[in-house]
């Protein structure tokens, strides 16, 4: 079955290769579209540029989340579930394809799609790039041209029908998700599932950091969000202590203390991490700082310092024995 017709968009033609089922989808902000695509040049050989089937994972986009190739939402909105269609798009719609493809290829390679990208609008970034890192995309960027997209639509899900990734949420949804993630993390801690709990706390922190990026540092909005971030980071660090990821704890507590140098709990967790990796001087300094900032923790600090002293004495004895054995003269036969 092949039927060619024009969409109500200038510079777009559609050919149905395989009919779909049901009604046309009703797209709304937050709808998730899952599909496979193939991108070809409009030349005699119909040169293939990209093919999502090579990665083995269908493409997903969220409607209204500023996907850089806006024409794709238009194309997909004209398709039924199960339909396969070929679209010819003029260069007025394909100028951003090189950057979109670059990001998708980097993700498929396990790399950061924004690596080296400046925080500017998409059109500004086009002029910042001397090269995309891919010869065929550099050619498209230098000379925008018509492209052919072959798409197979699998499904369209309404926002309430799937678990949305936090990056796809708006401000209100992110704020609503944070306490839910916090509670889930606490529940997992009680079950001693520290790795999964850490992931929940981390996801909540990412939500808040994304919102903070839109606020002026140290002003009311930023400070309010920071007050939500701090306990989540401390919970995350406690999970990492339980998992033995001590250098992870050192990194995050130090970053936290650079902003809040009076946080006794952050000093306490950093001290425990220092002690675990044999940084005796740093551990003692942090433990003593805890007792100074929060006298109610003095008993816990005293216990930790006693344990630290015992561990260090034991280590010194073991080290002496090891070095003595190393330098002993071997006996003759």
- In whole angstroms, give the CA distance from residue 119 to residue 2: 44
pLDDT for 198 beyond 70: yes
Average pLDDT of every residue of the chain: 85
Q: What are the structure tokens assigned to 251, written together?
A: 């990194």
- Per-residue pLDDT, 130: 58
State the average pLDDT over residues 11-38: 89
pLDDT band of residue 220 (cuts 50, 70, 90) is very high
Cite the residue boundaries of each domain of the chain with CATH code 1.25.40.10.
171-321
pLDDT for 279 beyond 50: yes
Q: Beta strands 48-51 and 59-62: pairing type?
A: unpaired
Fold of 171-321: 1.25.40
State the average pLDDT over residues 137-159: 91
Cite the residue boundaries of each domain of the chain with CATH code 3.10.50.40.
4-157
pLDDT band of residue 5 (cuts 50, 70, 90) is low
- Per-residue pLDDT, 45: 93
pLDDT for 127 beyond 60: no
pLDDT for 141 beyond 80: yes
Sign of the CA dihedral running 273, 278, 280, 281? negative
State the average pLDDT over residues 237-256: 95
Fold of 4-157: Chitinase A; domain 3 (3.10.50)
- The more confident residue out of 124 and 279 is 279
- The more confident residue out of 271 and 111 is 271
Q: How far is CA 46 from CA 38, 146, 163, in A?
A: 11, 12, 38
pLDDT for 278 beyond 70: yes
pLDDT for 81 beyond 80: yes
pLDDT for 327 beyond 70: no
pLDDT for 122 beyond 50: no
- In whole angstroms, give the CA distance from residue 94 to residue 126: 13
Under DSSP, is residue 243 helix (H, G, I), strand (E, B) or coil? helix
- The more confident residue out of 115 and 138 is 138
Contact present, 151 and 79 (Cβ < 8 Å): yes
- Per-residue pLDDT, 8: 78
In sequence order, the 6+-apart residues with CB closer than 8 A to the CB of 177 are: 166, 169, 204, 207
- Per-residue pLDDT, 168: 59
């Amino acid at each position: 079955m092949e039927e060619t017709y024009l969409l109500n968009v200038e510079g777009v033609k559609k050919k149905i290769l395989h009919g779909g089922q049901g009604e046309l989808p009703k797209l709304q902000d937050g709808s998730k579209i899952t599909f496979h695509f193939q991108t070809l040049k409009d030349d005699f050989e119909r040169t293939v540029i990209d093919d999502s089937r090579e990665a083995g994972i269908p493409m997903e986009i969220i409607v209204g989340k500023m996907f850089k190739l806006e024409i794709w939402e238009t194309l997909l909105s004209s398709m039924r579930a199960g339909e396969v269609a070929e679209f010819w798009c003029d260069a007025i719609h394909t100028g951003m394809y090189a950057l979109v493809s670059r990001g998708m290829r980097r993700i498929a390679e396990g790399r950061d799609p924004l690596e080296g990208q400046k925080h500017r609008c998409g059109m500004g970034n086009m002029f910042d790039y001397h090269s995309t890192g891919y010869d065929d995309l550099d050619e498209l960027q230098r000379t925008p041209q018509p492209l052919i997209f072959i798409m197979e639509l699998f499904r369209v899900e309404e926002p309430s029908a799937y678990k949305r990734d936090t990056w796809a949420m708006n401000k209100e949804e992110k704020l609503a998700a944070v306490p839910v993630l916090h509670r889930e993390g606490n529940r997992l801690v009680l079950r001693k599932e520290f790795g999964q709990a850490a992931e929940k706390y981390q996801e909540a922190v990412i939500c808040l950091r994304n919102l903070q990026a839109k606020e002026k540092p140290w002003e009311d909005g930023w400070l309010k969000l920071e007050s939500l971030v701090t306990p989540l980071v401390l919970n995350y660090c406690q999970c990492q202590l339980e998992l033995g990821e001590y250098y992870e704890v050192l990194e995050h507590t130090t970053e936290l203390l650079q902003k809040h140098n009076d946080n006794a709990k952050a000093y306490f967790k950093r001290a425990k991490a220092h002690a675990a990796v044999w940084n005796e001087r740093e551990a003692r300094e942090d433990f003593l700082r805890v007792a100074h900032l929060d006298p109610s923790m003095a008993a816990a600090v005293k216990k930790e310092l006693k344990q630290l002293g015992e561990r260090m004495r034991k280590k010194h004895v073991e080290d002496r024995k090891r070095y003595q054995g190393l330098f002993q003269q071997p006996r003759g036969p």
